[in-house]
Amino acid sequence: MKLVLSSALALGFIASVVIAQQPAPTAQIGLPAAQQGGKIKTIPPAGIAVPDADQKALRASLARLNTRLDAMKGNPRLPDIQIFTKAVSYALDGNEFFTAEEIFKAKELLRMATERTDQLSHGDAPWLKANGLVVRGYVSKIDGSVQPYGLVVPPSYTPDRAHNWRVDAWFHGRSETLSEVNFLWDRMRNPGEFQPRDTIVVHLYGRYCNASTFAGEVDLFEALADVKKTYQVDENRVFDRGFSMGGASAWHIGAHYGTYFAAVAPGAGFVETMEYSGQAQKGVKLTWFEDKLMHLTTATDYAANFFNVPVIAYNGDQDPQAQAADIMARNMAPEGLTLARVIGEKIGHAYTPAAKVQLDSMMDAIAVKGRDQWPREVRFTTWTLKYNRMRWVVVDGLEKHWDRARVNAVVADDHTVQATTSNVAAVSFEMGTGAGLLNRGAKVSVVIDGQTVAGPAPMTDGSWIAHLRKTGAKWALADDDAATLRKRHDLQGPIDDAFMDSFLMVNPTGTPMNEMVGNWAKSEEAHAIKLWRTQMRGDAPVKDDSAVTDADIAASNLILWGDPKSNKVLARIIDKLPVQWSAEGVALGPRKFAAGTNALVMIYPNPLNPKKYVVINSGNTFREYAQSTNSFQVAYLPDYAVVELTTPPDARWPGKIAAAGFFGEKWELQANDGR
């Protein structure tokens, strides 16, 4: 085993789970699927035939259980049972039994569900008090689906023991047959690669097989929130770990959400798309908007954030996925950071026993100190307001999305904060109770980009918050601008962002402008619903346009299918959008596209509720094309696009992209965009 050390600030974030090595990528990101010269791979693969007798037995058990569970609605621990029934029903309905053994597993899962139902009906939930391997579930805010996760609860845990527990979040590797049945079965039998002492290990399902991006990354935080309802978690000793695809998850989460973790420990995986997939070496070129969108998920673009988040990378010395740590180290170096690495000797895509001991020792040492929640110096970089926080620095506005933004801030003394920024229009400095960095009795000066701004004094509990906004070149304390239409955190696009929070697909019930648009929209909606089921493991919520309520508008992002003539909700808002769509055509400023053969795809703050999105005619923008390698599961379309329908949809695109672009920072149509 080799150990490559770094400075303390270059350590990192952790995620855990090992299953299978990433298969070699086969598709080319710069080519339409129809030109790739081969069958597009789809996952999950088709399952085996289930004998009629087994089908009947499983469905009968499901029916009995569902009747009992319906009578227990409202019980907060119902998801801990529904994970079993969902697993079996999805496997049956989706043809996702891949071996005969899994039929036996399904029967056992339903037996366990019956046992938990019996216990819960008597007011007991003994699995909440158990040690060892436990499976749990929660209801996702995104689509209302029940999602599973596994726990390894240490022997030292007892319900009556007052203790703030360390938590390691572990991300699993790629397995194309990792149905809920197989995930639950494994999580009740396999403790995983690492079981640190006095630590609760959370094994994330992560929405199956998407390297914990989009809904997969939300799964992490929803699962952790559910864990905290039962266990007292030490917020400063939460670690992010994983291997293979799970290593890619750990890199992604660590680079983008590092503020929440004590350290990151990715094993192998990938950190970007183009070099990992071989497309850069082949000279494949992206469209101009894809090139910008790569800044959303590419972890190396956020390498500077490991200044404040310890990261320790692992790979075997014969593992091709050492490329992930190699390229991250290359990107950290210009930031003055050195990547800490543990390298297994004479091994490929796996851990060596010696490396595991070394990694445990290094993680334990970080856990003793815990997360440095209030460091004197913070360095942060981002390209989007989606990822906008590091410790006490929060970026509230950008001058231009998809260009690099930076904030370097330091507490110079007990009454002065100094900061330099680039491509930042608004920033907050938020120090909570106990930060202890500023003098409670003193007024604080903020020196930002060479300008001195008088800030508020710290509160009596030591907390201190200052919101600043730049007008022209001048910084000043900012007032609340919640009513202002502008791009802000979780309301900044692109299209895929709408599927990281509660959404509702809205069917058109009227007559479309023309048959081609109507048929295309109907087909694309069915396609989006199918991919949500197979890839994101949920049933997309759907309503007719005439059934959408004020409560729906208040609670959810609305995914509007059809056109302004066929969809009643779209008709209500079309005049309030910065693009036009009428019987004459789709118009992007002076550019016009014939209505008979073109359709609009876009995301925008809902004019009926600007705190939520509307999306027109799109689900997640990565399609079957992206299933050959998780590195292709990125955003493919920006804030808006015009789709020419004479070119039929394929596994890559919803049709020919006639124009596409990003709205400006005030959600305005930009004259030089929509190329």
Tens-place pLDDT, residues 396-434: 999 999 999 999 999 999 999 999 999 999 999 999 998
Q: Is the pLDDT of residue 497 over 80?
A: yes
Architecture of the domain delimited by 402-477: Sandwich (2.60)
Conformation bin of residue 674: beta by default, left when phi > 0, alpha when psi is -120 to 50 = left
Q: 15 CB contacts (<8 Å, ≥6 apart)?
A: 169, 170, 171, 212, 240, 241, 242, 246, 247, 249, 250, 253, 254, 264, 265, 266
Q: Is the pLDDT of residue 447 over 70?
A: yes
Tell which residue, 399, 403, 402, 381, has the closest CA to residue 390.
Answer: 381
Question: What confidence tens digit (pLDDT) does each residue in 284-330 have?
Answer: 999 999 999 999 999 999 999 999 999 999 999 999 999 999 999 99
Mean pLDDT of 637-663: 97
CATH 3.40.50.2000, applies to 2-27+134-369? no
Q: Is the pLDDT of residue 350 over 50?
A: yes
pLDDT-based confidence at residue 45 (cuts at 50, 70, 90): very high
Q: Is the pLDDT of residue 633 over 60?
A: yes
Strands 464-471 and 503-507: unpaired
Question: What confidence tens digit (pLDDT) does each residue in 75-118 have?
Answer: 999 999 999 999 999 999 999 999 999 999 999 999 999 999 99
Mean pLDDT of 434-442: 89
Note the pLDDT of residue 212.
Answer: 95
Question: What confidence tens digit (pLDDT) does each residue in 115-158 have?
Answer: 999 999 999 999 999 999 999 999 999 999 999 999 999 999 99
How far is it, in rounded angstroms, from Cα 391 to Cα 376? 10
Mean pLDDT of the chain: 93
Question: Hunting for tokens 């039962």 — which residue is that?
Answer: 230
Note the pLDDT of residue 28.
Answer: 39
State both tokens at 423: 């491509």
Note the pLDDT of residue 6.
Answer: 35
pLDDT-based confidence at residue 673 (cuts at 50, 70, 90): confident
Burial class (CB in 10 A: 0-12, 13-18, 19+), 610: middle
Q: Which of 224-228, 309-313, 550-554, 627-631 shows the lowest mean pLDDT across its residues? A: 627-631
In the chain, where the domains are located = 2-27+134-369, 402-477, 495-661
Question: What confidence tens digit (pLDDT) does each residue in 245-283 have?
Answer: 999 999 999 999 999 999 999 999 999 999 999 999 999
Burial class (CB in 10 A: 0-12, 13-18, 19+), 12: buried
Note the pLDDT of residue 434.
Answer: 87
Note the pLDDT of residue 38.
Answer: 55
Note the pLDDT of residue 19.
Answer: 25
Q: Is the pLDDT of residue 13 over 50?
A: no
pLDDT-based confidence at residue 160 (cuts at 50, 70, 90): confident
Peptide bond into 564 cis (omega under 30): no
How far is it, in rounded angstroms, from Cα 340 to Cα 266? 11
pLDDT-based confidence at residue 440 (cuts at 50, 70, 90): confident
Please indicate whether residue 651 or residue 3 has the higher confidence score (pLDDT). 651
Q: Where do the DSSP E strands lie in 589-675?
A: 591-594, 598-606, 609-616, 640-644, 656-661
pLDDT above 90 as % of the chain: 90
SS3 state at 495: helix
Is the alpha carbon torsion for 95, 101, 102, 106 positive or negative? positive
Q: Is the pLDDT of residue 164 over 80?
A: yes
Tell me how far apart the terminal alpha carbons of the chain are, to the nearest angstrom: 52
Q: Is the pLDDT of residue 21 over 80?
A: no
Note the pLDDT of residue 340.
Answer: 98
Q: What is the pTM of this model?
A: 0.94
β-pair partners for 397: 426
Q: Is the pLDDT of residue 542 over 90?
A: yes
Q: Rounded to the nearest 10 degrees, how much is the dihedral formed by the CA atoms of 174, 176, 179, 183?
A: -30
Mean pLDDT of 547-556: 98
Report the run of H or E that residue 133 belongs to, with start and end.
strand 132-139
